[in-house]
Structure 1
């Protein structure tokens, strides 16, 4: 989910996300459900980056693609699963890179595969994610 969408959704419910240094706060948290507060915590790193102006559309495309790949591995139904499956079955290096990404995320503390990876990303995972994204897009464009 794009951080802007989260921020806008909170605002529409009368709760505002506020950034103070690197800390994220919710003004009027009583206006949202506890599950939405957990969502904001899960996506905190991306929300903070967006609010600081350090989250581009390209960053979102890469991160959204990684989210979709992880959902694919978890067996979550989504429109892209067939394309992801085809790509990974035909790109051994891409598959190995995805596996390496998952291992690094795990070393960074990501243990629950259904939890967003946002707060476990770092420069290493960002670089690897971009490489995976570029491999996937090259494959999809080649097949188009």
Structure 2
């Protein structure tokens, strides 16, 4: 989910998300359900980056694509699972990179696969994510594996 949408949704409920340095607060916490507070915690790093102006649409496209690939591996039904399956069956290097990404995420503490990966990302994850994204886009647009 795009942090912009999360911020807009919370503002519309009368509980805007407020940044104080690197600390993120939910105003009028009493207006929301505890599950929504957990959502904010799960996406905190991306929301903070967005509120600081450090989260571009391109960043979101990369992270959303990786989220969809991870959801594919988790068996979560998505419209694009067939495309992802086809791509990864033809691009062994991308498959290897996805495995490296999940291992790196686990080193960073991501051990509950139902939890978003946002708060476990680092520079290594960002670099791998961009490389995976580029390979995916080449395959989805041109039907060829990147060399």
Which TM bucket (shorter chain)? over 0.9
Q: How many positions carry a matched residue from both structures?
A: 144
Q: Secondary structure at the match of 1:53?
A: coil
Q: What does residue 37 of structure 2 align with? A: 37
RMSD: 0.9
Give the superposition deviation at 1:95: 0.1
Q: What does residue 59 of structure 1 align with? A: 59
- Asked if 1:28 is matched to 2:28, the reply is yes
Separation (CA, whole Å) in 2 of partners of 1:121 and 1:143 = 29
- Asked if 1:90 is matched to 2:90, the reply is yes
Separation (CA, whole Å) in 1 of partners of 2:143 and 2:135 = 13
Give the superposition deviation at 1:142: 1.2
Separation (CA, whole Å) in 2 of partners of 1:134 and 1:113 = 24
Give the superposition deviation at 1:143: 2.3
* Poorly superposed stretches of 4+, deviation over 6 Å: none
Alignment gaps of 5+ in structure 2: none
Separation (CA, whole Å) in 2 of partners of 1:111 and 1:73 = 15
- Asked if 1:120 is matched to 2:120, the reply is yes
Separation (CA, whole Å) in 2 of partners of 1:66 and 1:60 = 10
Give the superposition deviation at 1:56: 0.3
Q: What does residue 132 of structure 2 align with? A: 132
Q: Secondary structure at the match of 1:129?
A: helix
